[in-house]
Amino acid sequence: MIEVNNLTFNYPGQKDLLFEGFNLRLEENRIYGLLGKNGTGKSTLLYLLSGLLRPKGGTVSLDGFTPHLRDADMLKEVFLVPEEYDLPNTTLNSYVRLIEPFYPRFSREVLTVCLSEFELDQDLQLGALSMGQKKKVFMSVALAAGTKLLMMDEPTNGLDIPSKTQFRKVVAQQMEETHTLIISTHQVHDVEALLDHVLILNQRELLLNSPVDELTDKYVFTLRMPGDMDGVIYAEPSLMGNASMLLRQPGMPETQINLELLFNAVTKGLVK
């Protein structure tokens, strides 16, 4: 569905390239977690995939479309929720009536369910909402749009703890199996239960591109006491012992992935 070949990009006025010879292939029907340190190009990559930015070199393809050409048949299948945005000072119903015609599979039913899960009414004045409420509304609209590709940049920033739980529930319930979601985030614990594929981006390259099931088959994420560190690849101290990542040996039960441990181990070159 998504192919990036030999991508080169830098912003005007910047001498250093943000991407150079960058390649990526993403299959459909996945929920991807896009992770990386600040400045590694996560948001930029989403903007390139959505066509809001144009490559300086190389190609980006979405189902055969070139995103920056902004073909209407492509745009109806792509929805981007950026990290920062504003909503028009109008009612939610007016806003939905405005954008609904652009998305052939837009579902008022999905919108109603999402708003209900977020404990929001449909009769809303968008200009009067807090930033957290605006995020919930916009993510509800994004899911209701029913696009094949949905991208979210730091979707849980600004959400309180109950809202983060609501976010995971809404995404898990409303994402169609035939669609693709890319979540770019630093808040890894907010999304690790949702993902089925992990991408870790470094400057100009992917350090890791792996399905979650392969990672949990290969590694165990658990607590170890300081005197019991045999086989540990990477560990961080905690009040309960050392949060540890180690190779999974025969007989070891499968554990849930710990994205923070995985990310730190990968960026330190301990896992490839």
State pLDDT tens for residues 61-107: 999 999 999 999 999 999 999 998 889 999 999 999 999 999 999 99
Domain that holds residue 167: 2-85+145-203
Same domain, 233 and 185: no
Same domain, 163 and 239: no
pLDDT at 219: 96
Residue 196 placed within a domain: yes
Same domain, 11 and 75: yes
Q: How many domains does the chain have?
A: 2
pLDDT at 41: 92
- Per-residue pLDDT tens over the stretch 163-213: 999 999 999 998 888 899 999 999 999 999 999 999 999 877 899 999 999
* Helix, strand, coil abundance in the chain, percent, nearest 5: 35, 30, 40
Same domain, 76 and 187: yes
Q: Supply the pTM of this predicted model.
A: 0.94
Q: Which of 203, 223, 241 is the last residue of a domain?
A: 203
Residue 272 placed within a domain: no
- Per-residue pLDDT tens over the stretch 126-149: 989 998 899 999 999 999 999 999
Q: Given a cut of 80, is residue 124 above it in pLDDT?
A: yes
pLDDT category, 150, cuts 50, 70, 90? very high
pLDDT at 1: 82
Burial of 40 (0-12, 13-18, 19+ CB in 10 A): buried
Quote the tokens at residue 91.
Answer: 């009612």
Residue 111 placed within a domain: no
Average pLDDT, integer, range 117-129: 91
Same domain, 159 and 233: no
Same domain, 167 and 257: no
Same domain, 244 and 199: no
Same domain, 25 and 47: yes
The structure tokens 């979650």 sit at 212
Q: Which of 185, 203, 221 is the last residue of a domain?
A: 203
In 3D space, the residue among 217, 247, 242 whose CA is nearest the CA of residue 229 turns out to be 242
| Parallel/antiparallel/unpaired status of strands 31-36 and 197-202 | parallel
Q: Given a cut of 90, is residue 259 above it in pLDDT?
A: yes
Residue 199 placed within a domain: yes
Average pLDDT, integer, range 242-247: 93
Residue 113 placed within a domain: no
